[in-house]
Amino acid sequence: MSQIELRDVAIEYRKPKSDESFVAIRGINLSIDKGSFVTIVGSSGCGKSTLLLAIAGLIPRARGSIRVDGRDVAGPGRDRAMVFQEASLLPWRSVHGNVRFGLELQRWSRDNVDQRVAHFIGMVGLGQFADYHPHQLSGGMRQRVNIARALAVDPDVLLLDEPFAALDAQTREVMGNELLHIWEHDKKTALFVTHAIDEAIFLGDKVVVMGKDPGRIKDVVEIDLPRPRTTAMLDSAAFVAYRRTLRDYIAADMQSLQMIEDAA
């Protein structure tokens, strides 16, 4: 059963210093099943963040409809929580305070809040660091806090915008594994943006491939690999085949970019 439904969605931005608008994405049709893990790949600037922000209800759309569980998305809601790329933790709050932040904003009853916060901090493996402040944590730890903050408000849909983009390759792999581990626990619907092809295949049930000029969906690739996913699969024939398909899609984008640059 599909939980998120996008029909003919277009998002426009105002161009800087003019009244003209710029079409960031258009003609987006997408259905996402409840409990599935969907990844979105595409080269930089093709509108991945824009798409996610629109589903989060943080930016208005120029046309089309976005529905989550049949309800029209008109703004942020308790059914969705977002994990941002970086720098979205409050520097003056501890890990505990940051995870508590979402619960405070959603006016959760104070009774069990601190227990709940502690539970989710433990879940992302930061039990020892509850009293640390963001600047005292590594990039990977900060993203764990971000994830804990989103999970703590118990959303139906988890929206993740390149959460591991700033991390080194090893940390990234570990974090991906842990995220899957957590996800397999309660199977919240997850929408995960990345520009790393391997990450998209490794994590996803489906990979949505986006292209640009204008931002659009080029294809949706079903990833038929068994779960739980393991690092050994990275070298399997199926994985290599998926990698090749996706790389061709993205390379086409890069070529068109090259042509624009050559022409200029």
Q: What does the binding site for ligand ADP look like in residue numbers (CB under 6 A)?
A: 13, 22, 24, 42, 44-50, 215
What is the number of alpha carbons within 13 Å of residue 27 lying toward its C-beta?
10
CB 201 within 8 A of CB 170: no
Task: Tell which positions 18-77 bind other proteins, by CB under 8 A.
Answer: 56, 58, 76-77
- Report the distance separating Cα 148 and Cα 157, nearest Å: 14
Least separation in angstroms between residue 55's CB and Mg ion is: 14
- The span from the CA of 41 to the CA of 58, in Å, is 21
Residue nearer to ligand ADP on the CB measure, 12 or 198: 12
- Residue 154 interacts with other proteins (CB under 8 A): yes or no: no
Q: Which of 209, 210, 251, 247 is nearest to 11 (CA)?
A: 210
57 with 6: CB under 8 angstroms?
A: no
Given other proteins, ligand ADP, Mg ion, none, residue 13, with its beta carbon under 5 to 8 Å by kind, binds: ligand ADP
In 3D space, the residue among 207, 225, 100 whose CA is nearest the CA of residue 151 turns out to be 100
Does the footprint of other proteins cover residue 145 (CB under 8 A)?
Answer: no
Task: Pick one of other proteins, Mg ion, ligand ADP, none as the site partner of residue 144 (Cβ within 5 to 8 A by kind).
Answer: none
Q: Say whether residue 102 binds other proteins (CB under 8 A).
A: yes
User: What is the token pair recorded at 133?
Assistant: 């402040």
Q: Which is nearer to other proteins, 93 or 119 (CB)?
A: 93
**Choice from 31, 94, 177, 245 touching other proteins (CB under 8 A):** 94
From first CA to last CA, the distance across the chain in angstroms is: 47
Compute the distance between CA of residue 214 and CA of residue 191 in angstroms, rounded to an integer.
21
Q: Report yes or no: 47 and 31 within 8 Å, Cβ to Cβ.
A: no
- Closest to 21 measured CA to CA, from 214, 161, 210: 214
Q: How many helices (H) and strands (E) does the chain have?
A: 7, 10
Residue 54 CB, shortest distance to ligand ADP, in Å, is 9
Residue 108 near other proteins by CB under 8 A: no
- The window from 133-141, 198-206, 233-241, 246-254 that contacts other proteins (CB under 8 A) reads 133-141
Q: Does 194 bind other proteins (CB under 8 A)?
A: no
Residue 82 binds other proteins (CB under 8 A): yes
User: Would you say 101 or 249 has its CB closer to other proteins?
Assistant: 101
Residue nearest to Mg ion (CB): 49
Q: Which is nearer to other proteins, 119 or 243 (CB)?
A: 119
Q: Closer to ligand ADP at the Cβ: 13 or 92?
A: 13
